[in-house]
């Protein structure tokens, strides 16, 4: 190990900050685009429902890009891969800001989504490698902190720029944040070598392990509950709670605060009891989502409930560490697939919530849909725990970094 590498790895806080900056850039574009739909719809001469397909294009890019990049880049060092992913992300967001038509916008948003899952997966592995095994989840949570803080700061900033300066600036600022991340990772991330024996076939070996699929299932189903409510939260606040449009961003900000708090607290708990923490978060989510229909009529009650729902978002960090334990020597693919599962939930929750609303059950019915999804995730979690008890030797305790 060189002296430079030794110095860098003794400053894990700075490395985690650099990785979190990438999460901040990704979180800003992922969530801010929803609030920019009316503006770029008008700018590109399309209606808003059509413009909403741009969001789906990004999510599709995440789902497709995470496994493909993780497999094809198996022989690259993690630092090199992080730099390449963030360069691609920066370029794709700048291109989105310059998109001349709806068709190009779809293509550029799909391109923007490709690095998303692989970046978070690899960044989590790097973060875990910087700290002792009993602090892995907390290190991963620092990376994910960039994503949660984006919902509090980055999204309002991008939305303000979109309104004040034009919608293209809302995408352009993300390109700038990504470029800053490239510089920070280049300067701070430890120089590593490709993992010994790494290959696409070895990464694909993760798909042979039932516990990997069970963990992904917990995320894809259990996380869907949060998105079922969040997607229609603004409509519920105005139609049911009766608040003015100016209050909606404040409640959304409270959701982001809950997401941030849940991420930090869940990480601390998971480093002491990983699977019990995951199960507890799923039950927490089910309870808070079930409370939503009753709280929706009062602005104070619904704001508190939204904070509680946000706290359940700490599940993502916990599952990221769980995948490190069950993926064995196929770490990169399994870590990246966690974010494919997350975006599957992002599609499933709103779809089922929308079906309930369309069926005439009202805006608040998304809470019951969300509760059912959280309990579905808990059922998969229970299967995973039972499988662990039958074959405890199959679960590794090492960080896999």
* Separation CA 20–CA 317 (nearest Å): 13
More confident residue, 108 or 166: 108
Percent of the chain exceeding pLDDT 90 equals 38
Q: In the prediction, which pLDDT does 309 show?
A: 95
CATH superfamily of 1-198: MFS general substrate transporter like domains (1.20.1250.20)
What was the pLDDT predicted at 104?
94
pLDDT tens per residue, range 40-65: 888 888 876 677 778 878 888 888 88
1-198 and 199-394: identical CATH topology:
yes
The pLDDT assigned to 394 comes to 46
Query: Does position 67 have pLDDT exceeding 90, yes or no?
Result: no
8 A C-beta contact, residue 306 and residue 233: yes
Compute CA 347 distance to the chain's CA centroid, rounded to the nearest angstrom. Answer: 13
pLDDT at 4: 35
Intra-chain end-to-end CA distance of the chain, in Å: 16
Question: What confidence category does residue 343 fall into, taking pLDDT thresholds of 50, 70 and 90?
Answer: confident
Q: How far apart are CA 253 and CA 295, in angstroms?
A: 18
**DSSP letter string over 17-59?**
HHHHHHHHHHHHHHHHHHHHHHHHHHHHT--HHHHTHHHHHHH
Query: Per-residue pLDDT averaged across 82-101, rounded?
Result: 94
pLDDT, tens only, 4-42: 333 345 588 899 999 999 999 998 887 777 667 777 888
Task: Write b or e for each residue in 324-363: b if 16 or more Cβ atoms lie within 10 A of its Cβ, otherwise e.
Answer: bbbbbebbbbbbbbbbbbbbbbbbbbbebbeebbeeeeeb
- DSSP H or E run through 219: helix 210-222
Instruction: Give the pLDDT of residue 199.
Output: 59
pLDDT tens digits for 270-304?
989 999 999 999 999 999 999 999 999 999 999 99
- Listed by start position, the domains of the chain span 1-198, 199-394
Architecture field, domain 199-394 = Up-down Bundle (1.20)
Could you give the count of Cα atoms lying within 13 Å of 79 in the half-sphere of its Cβ?
Answer: 16
Cα(380)–Cα(382) distance, rounded to whole angstroms? 5
């Amino acid at each position: 190990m060189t002296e430079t590498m030794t110095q860098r790895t003794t400053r894990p806080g700075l490395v985690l900050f650099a990785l979190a900056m990438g999460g901040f850039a990704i979180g800003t574009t992922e969530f801010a685009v929803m609030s920019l739909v009316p503006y770029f719809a008008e700018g590109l001469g399309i209606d808003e429902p059509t413009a909403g397909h741009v969001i789906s294009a990004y999510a599709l890019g995440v789902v497709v890009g995470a496994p493909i990049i993780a497999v094809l880049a198996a022989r690259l060092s993690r630092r090199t891969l992080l730099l390449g992913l963030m360069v691609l992300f920066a370029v794709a967001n700048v291109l989105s800001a310059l998109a001349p038509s709806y068709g190009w916008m779809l293509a550029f948003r799909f391109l923007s989504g490709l690095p998303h899952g692989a970046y978070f997966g690899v960044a989590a592995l790097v973060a875990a490698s910087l700290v002792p095994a009993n602090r892995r989840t907390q290190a991963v949570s620092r990376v994910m902190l960039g994503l949660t803080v984006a919902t509090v700061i980055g999204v309002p900033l991008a939305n303000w720029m979109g309104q004040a300066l034009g919608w293209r600036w809302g995408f352009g600022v993300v390109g700038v944040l990504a470029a800053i991340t490239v510089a920070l990772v280049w300067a701070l991330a430890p120089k590593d070598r490709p993992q010994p024996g790494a290959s696409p076939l070895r990464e694909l070996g993760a798909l042979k392990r039932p516990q990997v699929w069970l963990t992904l299932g917990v995320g894809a189903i259990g996380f869907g509950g949060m998105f079922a409510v969040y997607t229609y939260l603004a409509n519920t606040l105005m139609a049911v709670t009766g608040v003015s449009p100016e209050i909606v961003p404040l409640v959304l900000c409270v959701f982001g605060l809950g997401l941030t708090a849940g991420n930090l607290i869940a990480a601390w708990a998971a480093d002491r009891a990983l699977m019990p923490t995951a199960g507890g978060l799923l039950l927490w989510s089910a309870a808070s989502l079930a409370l939503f229909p009753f709280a929706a009529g009062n602005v104070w009650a619904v704001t508190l409930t939204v904070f509680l729902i946000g706290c359940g978002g700490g599940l993502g960090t916990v599952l990221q560490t769980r995948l490190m334990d069950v993926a064995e020597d196929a770490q990169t693919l399994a870590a990246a697939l966690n974010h494919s599962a997350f975006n599957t939930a992002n599609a499933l929750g709103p779809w089922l919530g929308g079906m309930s609303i369309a069926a005439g059950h009202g805006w608040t019915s998304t809470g019951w849909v969300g509760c059912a999804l959280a309990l579905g995730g808990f059922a998969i979690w229970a299967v995973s725990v039972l499988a662990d008890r039958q074959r405890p030797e199959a679960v590794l305790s090492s960080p896999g970094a």
